[in-house]
Structure 1
Amino acid sequence: MRAGRWAELTRWPGSYWAVADNGQQRFVCGDLAGIRAVYYTLRGDERTAWATEPGLLGRALVPDLPWLAARLTVGEQHWPHRSPYQGIRLVPGGFRLLLAPGAPAQLLDVSGVEPVDEPREGARQFGQALTGAVQHRGRAAGGVVGADLSGGLDSSAAVVLAADAGPVHAVTYTDGYTSGEDMAFASRIAEHTKIAHTVDIGGDAQLPFSIPAGQPTGAESVLEAAMFAMDASYLHPVRGLPLHLTGHGGDIVLDFSSACWVRLLQDGRRREAHRQVVAFARLRNTAPGPYWKALREAAVLGRSGSLERAARASERGPITPEAAVAGWSWCRLRAGASWLTGSGRHQVNPPDEALSHTTCGSGSATVGGCNL
């Protein structure tokens, strides 16, 4: 902190917020995945206010309709620095906010992602980071740790690692619609680790078909709002514990991404990419040709070229879902693109922002428009 090496505060394993102040500057940062959000806005006195929820910034939450339309059209990566509300900005995952009295807020890249040449080495490093993140928190809790145990890979991995560090009380939810296979795996994990395990059997009142009365209202509409009754039911046995582990978001980290094939093509490793694509398609009993064509186009166009093509397509007129490119794409026009009016298409693709670069702060990071 004294030396101003703020990025080093983001190097601990796991997901967390970091807030630090050395008397001259204040550093605020969420996590690389963007799950720990940081919102900020400019106050009337020209000072920057920040918060972990937009409703805490003291501004009226007026929806940003172009942002919402863009999210329906092309997904979440459109204008990653904007939020669902006018006048409120969002720090993108992997970026940080640096504040100093009398100076504009700086938004700079602190992701520090270091690629590995060998997948086995990357897996080893990830395993070490996951183990350290779970077990450090378990030991620091100083008592029994609560944990979700759905029977899936994510929560099961967290429970197994936590059980090596101390006592765990796991909770599992089941009802007439959940998987019996997952329930069987959850029971086997609990038996193997010799932890306390509570199974909650939900009924009609816990089904996520409506938003129940009396739930805490968040700043944004999210799936958890509809699942509040289920969460309240199965988490009841572990209420009050100092720490609760969950597998939420694990698929984002652990799931396979076909973007690796685009990278192989861009690196000139065409034969290796083609071999993997063909094997992937055959496992799914589908033709590799259209998929391979889409990957080659993505590699040639790059992200900026794909965004420009999507902007031109949406500006020309309504798009039918059948016109979407098969296979992997940097920017896939969704079915929502066919709902836009002419005015909506123009707002989603304004010439002064959608395809332009905006430099934030004094660094070289670019976070404007769609060009993160």
Structure 2
Amino acid sequence: MRWSAGWYGGTGHDRLPAGGRAVPGLESAWTCGWPAARVRAVGQGPAAFAVIGECGADDHQLQDALPVVRVKGWRALTRWPGSYLTIARSGEALTVIGDLSGQHPVYYRTDADGTWWSTAASALAALDGAPIDVSALAAHLAFGQPDVLATRGLFRDVKRVPGGHLLLIGSDGAMVERYEPVAYPSVELRQQAPVVRAALAEAVAMRIDDRPVSTDLAGLDSTTLACLAAQRGPVAAVTFADERLRDDDLAFAVRTAATVPNLGHHTVPGATSTVYYAGLDDLGHLPVTDAPNAYVVTASIKRAVLGTVAELASAPGVHFTGAAGDAVLSAPSSYLADLLRERQWRLSWQHALGHARLRHSSPFAVLARDRPASRTGLAGAWRQTAAELRRPARDWLPQARRPVAWTPLLASADWMHPDVRTRLADTLDQAAGELIEAPARLAEWSGRQDLARVGANTAGWRTLALTDHGIDLAAPFLDNEVIRACLSVPADQRGAPGRYKPLLDAAFASSGVVPDFILARTTKGGFNALSYAGLRDHAPRLKELLGPSSRLAALGLVTDGPVAAALTRAAAGQPTAQGALHLVVAAEVWLWQLAAAATTWWEEVSGRVVAA
């Protein structure tokens, strides 16, 4: 796993990251596993900074940014194309800035001697064997929104930097500061479309060098990236095509490859083993990640695609995926709650009519789901959820049939022991009391949380690609500048029911980059069939994994009866809480890996190394 770490303190430190490489010009900062070409630093006098990862700034741009560091204009250091971590020093102040989507997270812990920071929470926990924070893991399972507990991490005493914030360390200690606005100024879709196109084109271009290039070729998002990459040279485009899926991804992929020069198309056929939950009999074959990761559930499918890519290439290359395209190019209908709150009655009704037609429902039913969320803010919604956690667990109901909520309570919350639910409720009440700078709109909050969740999971997928084949996974829709460009368009325009992904259409229509028949597409593939096939085929293993000997059960985070009932329904092909099952399986696998992994995070050094 690639990670970075650093120390700030007056008395020095007695350990170093195992196998770490010092960051040039920044004392007491190291990278582990990162190629030298992905670690670049500049400095002059008391000002220095480094970018780690895929950063589109050239050496001159980095050098020219030193005056910005001197005046502590931190946000400007996050505006280059790509996805990267920034470490900056201005005099005695040290700043560590992750990205907006959580692919480069920042964690820290302090004691009397100083502060350790890292992009790996597990590494900081390993400093003294810090245990799991049960309430934080409960929040992860119950809500699925990373920023609900703000700076509270999954390990006791290891704090996290929430999205849009940076870590600032100085002589007075460590503090977290916001660098990204809670909400972006609204820009009309048509006006912003060229900005979105330019941001995406730049995000793709800056990742293409002399390595082989491959892409997923399936839905609108991955197809757009494939077309952009093909403008710069040969691309091996792969489509996972399993007859159980019964979608039209393959038909569109074949037509796209026949239309767009430089796209060589390859099909990855499905197999008995390419279903959800395959491979959980031997957890040692899954790479260790820093947090529970959803891709352990779909690892067999991802490995089939990556294996094909590796066979096609002469050397490890870069593979583009459309992950997070849905989150930035469209918006869920929950934005209707914002329209109701703002008393935009006519627009609310027009959009409700459109969404009702899509769902074969009535506009009154659509608005009824959104009305409760329109009558409260984020803090109030959390207090309501806390009250619900103190009541008996609910019978399962599909999330689409429950009222829209700022922070939906997932079915996994109903599988927890009552004592854990009560503690989680207390924690949520505390979070509501400490909340500052809350977003005014539900769409702004939920959109950022969706991105943070997808970004964290994509980081795990990246670990899988690197571990198995040395392939670099690229997810341009998760880049800072792409996120900013897309989310500046109001949710009611990105998610308008009359057109499918209107922002993408406006950005690339008549551009000659993406074929018109792709932009006119209104269908989307899904993996439900493979999810239920995996639940059916691997039900015995899942019941064993989440049964009485489960590590989650030992912590009170699942109880055997409700989980067994959910698995029984799924094995019979009946509707069930698939998303909740994915979450708890990923968390269970992660807890077993933590206990079994022989990861050496640190090495001791003789004496104490003097800190800068």
TM-score with structure 2 length normalisation? Answer: 0.53
Deviation for aligned residue 1:30: 2.0
Deviation for aligned residue 1:46: 3.8
Contact preservation (8 Å) 2:229, 2:235: yes
Deviation for aligned residue 1:231: 4.7
For structure 1, which runs of at least 5 residues remain unmatched after alignment?
360-364
Q: Which residue matches 2:138? A: 69
Contact preservation (8 Å) 1:170, 1:197: yes
Aligned counterparts, 1:229-240, within 5 A: 229-236=303-310, 237-238=312-313, 240=315
Q: Which residue matches 1:151? A: 218
Aligned counterparts, 1:89-100, within 5 A: 89-100=159-170
Change (3 A) 1:366 1:187: same
Change (3 A) 1:239 1:54: farther
Change (3 A) 1:149 1:188: farther
Deviation for aligned residue 1:334: 2.3
Contact preservation (8 Å) 2:380, 2:432: no
1:187 & 1:21 partners in 2: Cα distance? 50
Q: Secondary structure at the match of 1:330?
A: coil
Q: Which residue matches 1:260? A: 335
Change (3 A) 1:190 1:90: farther
2:435 & 2:380 partners in 1: Cα distance? 17
Q: Which residue matches 2:258? A: 191
Bigger RCO of structures 1 and 2 (CA < 8 A, at least 6 apart): 2
Q: Secondary structure at the match of 1:271?
A: helix
Aligned counterparts, 1:223-302, within 5 A: 223-226=294-297, 227=299, 229-236=303-310, 237-238=312-313, 240-302=315-377
Contact preservation (8 Å) 1:41, 1:49: yes
Deviation for aligned residue 1:182: 1.3
Deviations 1:249-295 (A, max 9, x none): 22222232224322222333122112211221122211222331232
Deviations 1:4-25 (A, max 9, x none): 1011111224433222333532
Alignment match of 1:170 (pick from 237, 259, 266): 237
Q: Which amino acid aligns with 1:130?
A: L
Q: Which amino acid aligns with 1:93?
A: G
Give the stretch that moved more between structures: 302-311 or 207-216: 207-216
Alignment match of 1:338 (pick from 394, 414, 426): 414
Contact preservation (8 Å) 1:135, 1:162: yes
Change (3 A) 1:239 1:36: farther
Q: Which residue matches 2:84? A: 16
TM-score with structure 1 length normalisation? Answer: 0.84
Contact preservation (8 Å) 1:146, 1:241: no
1:28 & 1:79 partners in 2: Cα distance? 20
Q: Which residue matches 1:362? A: none
For structure 2, which runs of at least 5 residues remain unmatched after alignment?
1-68, 440-444, 450-612
Contact preservation (8 Å) 1:14, 1:130: no
Deviation for aligned residue 1:156: 0.8
Deviations 1:149-191 (A, max 9, x none): 2321121111111222333333333445455621222223233
Change (3 A) 1:4 1:192: same
2:294 & 2:180 partners in 1: Cα distance? 28
1:353 & 1:240 partners in 2: Cα distance? 51
2:292 & 2:378 partners in 1: Cα distance? 29
1:358 & 1:278 partners in 2: Cα distance? 35
Contact preservation (8 Å) 2:240, 2:268: yes
Q: Which amino acid aligns with 1:234?
A: T
Q: Which amino acid aligns with 1:26?
A: L
Q: Which residue matches 1:308? A: 383
Q: Which amino acid aligns with 1:173?
A: F
1:95 & 1:61 partners in 2: Cα distance? 24
Contact preservation (8 Å) 2:108, 2:116: yes
Q: Which has the higher strand share?
A: 2
Change (3 A) 1:326 1:287: farther
Deviation for aligned residue 1:86: 2.0
Residue 219 (structure 1) aligned with residue 290 (structure 2):
yes
Give the stretch that moved more between structures: 172-181 or 268-277: 172-181
Q: Which residue matches 2:116? A: 49
Q: Which amino acid aligns with 1:69?
A: A
Contact preservation (8 Å) 1:144, 1:166: no
Q: Which amino acid aligns with 2:177?
A: L
Contact preservation (8 Å) 1:146, 1:168: yes
Q: Which amino acid aligns with 1:108?
A: E
2:86 & 2:244 partners in 1: Cα distance? 39
Q: Which residue matches 1:6? A: 74
Alignment match of 2:177 (pick from 90, 108, 132): 108
1:297 & 1:366 partners in 2: Cα distance? 18
Alignment match of 1:129 (pick from 185, 199, 217): 199
